[in-house]
Amino acid sequence: MTTTHGPCREGTYNLLNQITIERLGWKDRVRIWSPADTGYFDDLPGGLSVLIFALMAASDLLLGALHEVRPAEMRVGAAQEIYDRHFAALLEKAAAATAGNLSLPAALWQVATGRLFGLGGLLRTAAIDFSAARTNKPLPRVLVVGEVYVRCEAFANHFLIDQLEARGLRTHLAPLGEWLEYADVIIRREAKALRLGERVSSLVQRRIQELTYKSMAPALRWPARPTVEEALDAVEPYLRTDLHGEAVLTVGGPLEEWRRGRIDAVVSVGPLECMPNKISEAQLFHVAEREGLLALTLPVNGDPVDAEVLDNFAFETHARFQRGRSRPREPHMASPQISKSPSAADLGNRALDCPNRRGWARGPLTQLPPPFALRPSTPQDSRCSSCSTPLRPEPGQSHCSASVCPPSLSRRTPITVQEN
C-alpha cells in the first residue's frame, strides 16, 4: 500500500503489514514496498514498472470475471477453479518476464506491439473459459466501492462479496487499479506542463488498460470500460473534484454506472469514521433522493457486518429488480448544487435527518412482489416514526424489525400483521 500525506490511515496500512510480517517471523523473507501515492513507480526501473502495472490490470480483470460468473455458474465451484488456474498462470508469466529482458525499451515494445508479456492471450483464454461456465440467469448487479484497502481486502470487510453473493446478488468490485488511474488523471488535469516522462507514462498506462480490457470484454460481453474521467465528470453536481481522495470516486463511479443502466445498487465500505467514507455516505443519500440509486454504506471496525443489514439491502434490491424499478431516472436538482458552496453542515445534516439512516439502504422503497411479498399490513401503521419510511414487517410479530439503527430501536411504530 502507498504512503499518503496527512493523517489518512491508508498511509499506515503498510506499517500494520510490517508488524504482522515481523510477528510471523518473515521479516528477512518479505520486504514491504510502500511508494508515494502521487508517484507510484518513481523509485522502480521503468521496465519493472510497466510489468507491475500490466499484472495489476490483468489480476483486476480476472477477479472481475470471477465475481461476474460465480453467482450464476453452471456448476458450483467452476468459476473459482477457472480463476485459480489462470491466476497461477499469471504468476508464471510474471516470473518468466522478470527472468527475461526488463529494460525500459523492451517493456515499451511489449506494450506497443500488444504482446504485453503474453498477458493478452492468457486473458482471452480465461474469458472464454469463464463465459462457458456461466448461465444466463438474470441477477441484480451491485457495485462495491469505498476505501481502497477495506473494499479490496476480503478479511477487512468480513468477506462482503461472498455474503452478497449468498443473497443472490451479482457484484462488481471497484478495481485496485482505479486509484492509480485516478492519480494519473489528477496529474494530467492539474499539472501546468507535463514532462516528457510523465506523458509517456500516462500513455503507457492507458494503453495497458485498453489492451487488457479488450482481451476479456468480447467473450464476456462486457460494455465499454468505465473510466475515472467519466466518474469525475458525473460527480460534479455533488462534490467538487478538487476535493482529492476517494470520496469523488466512491460517489462518481456508481453514479456513472447507474446512469448507464449497468448496476442496480451500490455498497460503499470503509473504516469506521473514515472522513471520505462519511462524505460519500452523505452524498449517496442525495443521489438516492434525486436519481433513485439504492445505496448502502457500511463502516467497519473489525466486527462482523450485521447480517440483518445485508438481508434488508438484498431484499429491497431484489424487489426493485423484479419490478423493473432499479433503473436510473432523470435527476431533479431542485435544491442548490452542493458542489458550488459545500460546508460540513450541508454535507452531513440531511443524512442525519432520519435516526434510521445508519445501516439502512438509501433509496425509495417499493411494494414488494412475490415471492418477496409478506402478509399485508395497514400502510399508515408500518412506517418509521421519524421519517415515515415504509418498513418491512416480520410475519407473526406485532412490531417492525426491519430498521437496524440502534437509536431508533426504541421508537419503532407498532404495526398490525393480518393473518391469512
* DSSP type of residue 367: P
Is pLDDT of 155 > 60? yes
Residue 194: pLDDT band (50, 70, 90) is: confident
What's the pLDDT score for residue 15? 78
pLDDT score, position 54? 96
Q: How many CB atoms lie within 10 A of CB 323?
A: 13
Least confident among 154-163, 354-363, 387-396: 354-363
For residues 161 and 171, the answer to whether their CB atoms sit within 8 Å is yes
Query: Between 44 and 348, whose confidence is greater?
Result: 44
Alpha-helix residue ranges (DSSP H) falling in 134-260: 148-152, 160-166, 177-190, 196-220, 228-235, 246-259
CB atoms within 10 A of CB 209: 22
For the segment 371-393, the average pLDDT, to the nearest whole number, is 41
Using the predicted structure, report yes or no on whether residue 311 has a pLDDT greater than 80. yes
- Average pLDDT rounded to a whole number, residues 235-239: 94
Position 347 scores a pLDDT of: 38
Return the pLDDT at 409: 36
**pLDDT 10s digits, 45-66:** 789 999 999 999 999 999 999 9
Write down the pLDDT at residue 165.
Answer: 97
pLDDT at 363: 42
Cβ atoms within 10 Å of 281's Cβ, excluding its own = 27
Mean of the pLDDT values across residues 330-355?
Answer: 42
Q: How far is CA 80 from CA 76, 134, 177, 231, 251, in A?
A: 9, 12, 22, 30, 30
User: What is the pLDDT confidence band of residue 280, given thresholds at 50, 70 and 90?
Assistant: very high
Tens-digit pLDDT profile for residues 88-138: 999 999 999 999 999 999 999 999 999 999 999 999 999 999 999 999 999
The answer, yes or no, to whether residue 245 has pLDDT greater than 90, is: no
Question: Residue written as cell 443489514?
Answer: 309
pLDDT over 60 (residue 419): no
Residue 36: strand, helix, or coil: strand
More confident of the two residues 195 and 42: 195
Residue 75 scores a pLDDT above 50 = yes
Q: What is the pLDDT of residue 412?
A: 35
Model pLDDT for residues 291-301, shown as the tens digit of each residue: 999 999 999 98
pLDDT higher than 70, residue 372: no
Residue type, 245: G
Side by side, the strands of the sheet bearing 141-146 are: 170-173, 141-146, 265-271, 294-300
Rounded to two decimals, what is the model's pTM?
Answer: 0.75
d(CA 22, CA 29): 10
Sorted by sequence, the CB contacts under 8 Å of residue 329 that are 6+ apart come out as 291, 292
Q: What is the per-residue pLDDT for 189?
A: 86
101-115, 345-359, 382-396: which range is least confident on average? 345-359
Sign of CA dihedral 233, 237, 238, 242: positive
Distance, CA of 209 to CA of 232 (rounded, Å): 18
Nearest to 169 by CA among 294, 259, 60, 302: 294
- What φ, ψ does residue 224 adopt, rounded to 5°? -60, 145
The predicted pLDDT at position 175 comes to 95
The residue among 367 and 112 whose pLDDT is bigger is 112
CA atoms of 175 and 177, how far apart (whole Å): 5
> Among 87-101, 145-159, 344-358, 387-401, whose mean pLDDT is lowest?
344-358
- Note the pLDDT of residue 216: 97
Q: Express as a percent the part of the chain with pLDDT over 90.
A: 55
Is the pLDDT at 325 greater than 80, yes or no? no
> How does residue 231 score in pLDDT terms, banded at 50, 70 and 90?
very high
Confidence of residue 39 (pLDDT cuts 50, 70, 90): low
Q: Is the pLDDT of residue 41 over 90?
A: no
As a whole number, the mean pLDDT across the chain is 79
Give the per-residue pLDDT at 64.
97
What's the pLDDT score for residue 367?
38
